Amino acid sequence: MSSWQKKKMFLPKETIPGAKSFAATSDVYLEAQHICIKKNTAEKIFGTETVVLTVFYAKDNTFMVSPASEELFKTIHKANQQMLKSKNLNGDKSISIMELLLDNDIDENNRDLEFTTEEALHILKVKL
């Protein structure tokens, strides 16, 4: 490995020549095969929970997520359990969807995503 390649491993993407940077303008966006959720939206839906329930409906390309403690969501949907990861020190969160993107032939490019929230039910619906 060249010295440039070693240095490149530790540089922010914006400083690597030829690397594309992505600046999200939405509170929910796709980046590096993760659904990223900005702090305010994440807190409203998930509170302090770190485990979530997720389900994807291919028919309308909709990804739904709710805190694991939401019994109603668990009852209605055949959901999978996933970790809600901390993305950064700002309090933003992320959920890996690499498999979902590959299995359903969905565009993997970083982009803003359309979404709706149902705060009373603690549900985030994301259009992929």
Which H or E run includes 52? strand 51-57
pLDDT of residue 6: 41
Contact by Cβ (8 Å): 85, 94: yes
Domains identified in the chain, total number = 1
Contact by Cβ (8 Å): 51, 85: no
Residue 128 within a domain: yes
Question: Is the confidence at residue 22, as pLDDT, over 80?
Answer: no
pLDDT band, very low/low/confident/very high, at 23 (cuts 50, 70, 90): confident
Domain extent at residue 116 = 48-128
- Phi/psi class of residue 36: alpha, beta or left (left: φ > 0; alpha: ψ in -120 to 50)? beta
pLDDT per residue as tens digits for the range 33-51 = 999 999 999 999 999 999 9
pLDDT of residue 43: 97
Nearest to residue 66, comparing CAs of 4, 111, 117, 114? 117
Question: Is the confidence at residue 91, as pLDDT, over 60?
Answer: yes
Residue 2 within a domain: no
pLDDT band, very low/low/confident/very high, at 81 (cuts 50, 70, 90): very high
